[in-house]
Amino acid sequence: MPILELKNVSFGYTQNLVLENVNLKVEPGQFIGIIGVNGSGKSTLLKLILGILKPTKGEIIKDKKLNIGYVNQTTSTEEGSFPATVFEVVALGLKKRPFSYINFKDKKRVLKTLELFSLTMLKNRSFSALSGGQAQKVKIAKVLLSNPDIIVFDEPTTGIDAESEEILIEMIKHLHAMKKTIIFVSHDKETLLACDKIYKISDYTLEESHV
Ligand SMILES: Nc1ncnc2c1ncn2[C@@H]1O[C@H](COP(=O)(O)OP(=O)(O)OP(=O)(O)O)[C@@H](O)[C@H]1O
Ligand SMILES: [Mg+2]
């Protein structure tokens, strides 16, 4: 049984059509790569999967309780005035109720995740004062901490230095080995080689492809 399925999904922003009759089955534990030229509709497809956008036609079948983690595609100034420290942003991944107490065990989990991304030194820094690559790592750390059923990455390595990119890619491979379901938009050849399936968006539709 697929964990998520798109059946004849079409979508357009007001007038302009982006996707037409897209079909996709995502099996549990699958690592899916999505490619396509700029503006082909990769981010739009992810937003449909996440439920941020609704299909104009067709349907998306998923369990209501399905927890989908999302690392969006950044432009460096996007979250410029977010008034929280790195620790606080990553701790949001714990999905605690607002203002509830973070106990010792939670704190240790946050610190361990920060450590994993070499973010320990930055933990008391304001999130808005980070570089684009640092901010991206913080966002990924937060999503991983929330332990989602499916993790959706939209070009997560953009703006990240080579060393952090290596860590991230190793982490994604590790998540895959742990049977996490991953949907990954990227043009990074090395990561795409690790995917179970690659799909390409072209001419409004999705077809199976290769690196
Ligand atoms: N909010 C929006 N309103 C109107 N049109 C949009 C909106 N977002 C995206 N589009 C258009 O939809 C098309 C697909 O955009 P999308 O962002 O999904 O492409 P992409 O494949 O992710 O591109 P990139 O590689 O640059 O990230 C583009 O033509 C884009 O201009
Ligand atoms: Mg995009």
For the chain, the domains span 4-66+149-209
Task: Specify the 3-state DSSP secondary structure of 151.
Answer: strand
In this prediction, residue 140 has a pLDDT band, given cuts at 50, 70 and 90, of confident
**Distance from the alpha carbon of residue 104 to the mean position of ligand 2, in angstroms:** 38
Number of helices (H), then strands (E), in the chain: 6, 9
- The mean pLDDT of 53-79, rounded to a whole number, is 84
**Distance from the alpha carbon of residue 10 to the mean position of ligand 2, in angstroms:** 17
Count Cβ atoms below 10 Å from residue 190 Cβ, excluding itself. 12
Give, rounded to a whole angstrom, the gap between the first and last alpha carbons of the chain. 27
Kindly give the pairing relationship between strand 4-13 and strand 57-62. antiparallel
pLDDT, tens digit (0-9, with 9 covering 90-100), for 12-34: 998 789 999 999 999 999 999 99
Interatomic CA distance for residues 205 and 201, integer angstroms: 5
pTM as predicted: 0.88
Interatomic CA distance for residues 116 and 128, integer angstroms: 21
Nearest-CA residue for atom 6 of ligand 1: 13
> Which is higher by pLDDT, 95 or 11?
11
Q: Cβ(9)–Cβ(22) under 8 Å?
A: yes
**Distance from the alpha carbon of residue 9 to the mean position of ligand 1, in angstroms:** 16
If you classify domain 4-66+149-209 with CATH, what class do you get? alpha beta
Burial of residue 172, with CB atoms counted within 10 A of its CB: 0-12 exposed, 13-18 middle, 19 or more buried: buried
Interatomic CA distance for residues 41 and 21, integer angstroms: 13
- What is the residue-averaged pLDDT of the chain? 89
Q: Cβ(191)–Cβ(33) under 8 Å?
A: yes
Rg of the chain over Cα atoms, rounded to whole angstroms, equals: 17
Top mutation candidate among 43, 71, 200 for ligand 1, by most atoms within 8 Å of CB: 43
Interatomic CA distance for residues 52 and 182, integer angstroms: 18
Among the atoms of ligand 1, which is closest to the Cα of residue 47?
Answer: 18
